[in-house]
Amino acid sequence: MPAKPVPDIVVARLPLYLRALTAMHNSGKTFTSSKEMAQWLGIGSAQIRKDLSYFGEFGKQGMGYAVADLLEKLRKILHLDREWPMVIIGAGHIGSAVAAYPGFAHRGFRVCALFDNDPAKIGTSIAGLRVYDVHDLPEYVRAHDIRLAMIAVPAEAAQAVAELAVSAGVLAILNYAPLNLALPEHVRVENIDPVLHLQHMTYYLG
Amino acid sequence: MPAKPVPDIVVARLPLYLRALTAMHNSGKTFTSSKEMAQWLGIGSAQIRKDLSYFGEFGKQGMGYAVADLLEKLRKILHLDREWPMVIIGAGHIGSAVAAYPGFAHRGFRVCALFDNDPAKIGTSIAGLRVYDVHDLPEYVRAHDIRLAMIAVPAEAAQAVAELAVSAGVLAILNYAPLNLALPEHVRVENIDPVLHLQHMTYYLG
DNA sequence: CAGTGTGAAAGTCTTCACAGCT
DNA sequence: AGCTGTGAAGACTTTCACACTG
């Protein structure tokens, strides 16, 4: 749909806009402006207008944006007009906490299973979800057409399970293990390592 | 120390270099090169050299970088040549998982207490750490000279506890709640919202 | 007239390419 | 030869500023 190629950095901001708009929507707001959103998010209003302009003309001149309308448009753009099933690999503290997080359901995602290699965990339930043997991952991914996986295993095991997931058809990985995964070009990877953020901040704490 | 102002984006990459170097160090490597680090991290070698050049000349021409030496230099630059005590606000699933995470200790940080407003949790221990009443946060922060806090409370409560923490002297916050905190300029905030990453990736999953 | 959409300008970041050192 | 450190070039991003619209 976009006429000009969309910079990845612009795509990365859309979920932020979505989150702000959802909050506005929940608080009963029906209209907003790039200026208001900008203040809310702590960025420039021109940036928001330019970002949105990559995808179309969503505002009404002199009025701003209809919150519900823009919400829907952004959801379509991000392919959130359907529910994405996900698996979590690693049923330790992090995997369990993520599995129990109630924030996925209303934002387009559904965790549908956990995987681990610990016999003591396999067969149990965590947050109402079954924990399977990691060896059954490929079969499960194929059977349920899973494209998204979250990796929450120790660093030593992460590369191997990532490759296992990818070989079964996973196309995007959210990686909680503190290392850089080496995977084929076509696989998208995003990393979450809280320590990286902390170390970034300590630079400024003199 | 830096002669020219250091772009924030450069500072943000240093922890990544630190992480890669630590892995190399642990695997017995004593020397590396910008090229090798670059492959490891999936970025360009010139970028690494340029980033490091903001802080000094750490390499030996024709040889590359001494791993242990560069590690130490980066730790100094990021002020990780000491241990940073931290508190976690919110003793739910996420707060508890983060508290139990063993990865902080060797990377410069120590979680020293949890805070919550749930009477059922206050006074208990999680991962060997005491859970205090959130009302005691200011006193604790002042008494222990805490500058770093992680926020892991529901979105509705996040702004209020962030302000409480800041008023007591906290200067940097790692925020797990899915909203943008509005805080004074001098407070550094980094956000972790896994859903934002997932939504970024679904854009590319057609 | 308030606020969008957008070329053009300004600013920032990355990559190149090479002198110089070991 | 192999690799660093770095100006200069190139690519990318943000911001400006204004014609245009409801």
User: Tens digits of per-residue pLDDT, A88-103?
Assistant: 999 999 999 999 999 9
A46 touches strand D (CB under 7 A): yes
Within 13 Å and on the Cβ side, how many CA atoms surround B12? Answer: 8
What is the total residue count of chain B?
206
Residues of B in contact with A40 (CB under 8 A): 180
State the smallest CA–CA distance between residue B117 and chain A in angstroms.
Answer: 19
pLDDT value at residue A24: 98
φ/ψ of B158, rounded to 5, equals -65, -45
CA distance B59 to B33: 8
A-proximal residues of B, 24-83, CB under 8 Å: 40-42, 77-80
How large is the average pLDDT for residues A152-170? 98
Residues A20 and A27: beta-carbon distance below 8 Å: no
Q: What is the pLDDT along chain B (206 residues), one digit of tens a residue?
A: 566 799 999 999 999 999 999 999 999 999 999 999 999 999 999 999 999 999 999 999 999 999 999 999 999 999 999 999 999 999 999 999 999 999 999 999 999 999 999 999 999 999 999 999 999 999 999 999 999 999 999 999 999 999 999 999 999 999 999 999 999 999 999 999 999 999 999 999 98
pLDDT digits (tens, 9 = 90+) for A32-51: 999 999 999 999 999 999 99
Tell the burial category of A103 from Cβ atoms under 10 Å away from its Cβ (0-12, 13-18, 19+). Answer: middle
Taking each helix axis from N to C end, the angle separating A93-100 and B93-100, rounded to the nearest 10 degrees, works out to 170
Radius of gyration in angstroms for the set of CA atoms belonging to chain B, rounded to a whole number: 20
Residues A175 and A169: beta-carbon distance below 8 Å: no
Residues B113 and B129: beta-carbon distance below 8 Å: yes
Token readout for B31 is 């020397």
> Distance in angstroms, CA of B10 to C1' of C21?
26
CA distance B7 to A61: 37
CA distance B166 to B189: 11
Q: Residue A32, SS3?
A: strand
Residues of B in contact with A20 (CB under 8 A): 180
Does A178 contact B at CB distance below 8 Å? yes
Taking each helix axis from N to C end, the angle separating A194-202 and B8-26, rounded to the nearest 10 degrees, works out to 120
pLDDT digits (tens, 9 = 90+) for A81-91: 999 999 999 99
pLDDT value at residue A2: 62
Residues B39 and B61: beta-carbon distance below 8 Å: no
**pTM of the entire predicted model:** 0.97
pLDDT value at residue B1: 58
DSSP code at position B105: G
Residues of A in contact with B206 (CB under 8 A): 79
State the smallest CA–CA distance between residue A97 and chain B in angstroms.
Answer: 5
Helices (H), B78-136: 93-100
List of protein residues whose beta carbon is under 7 A from strand C: A 33-35, 45-46, 49-50, 52-53, 57-65; B 7-10, 43-44, 46-47, 49-50, 60-63
Lookup: nucleotide whose C1' is closest to B44 CA: C15
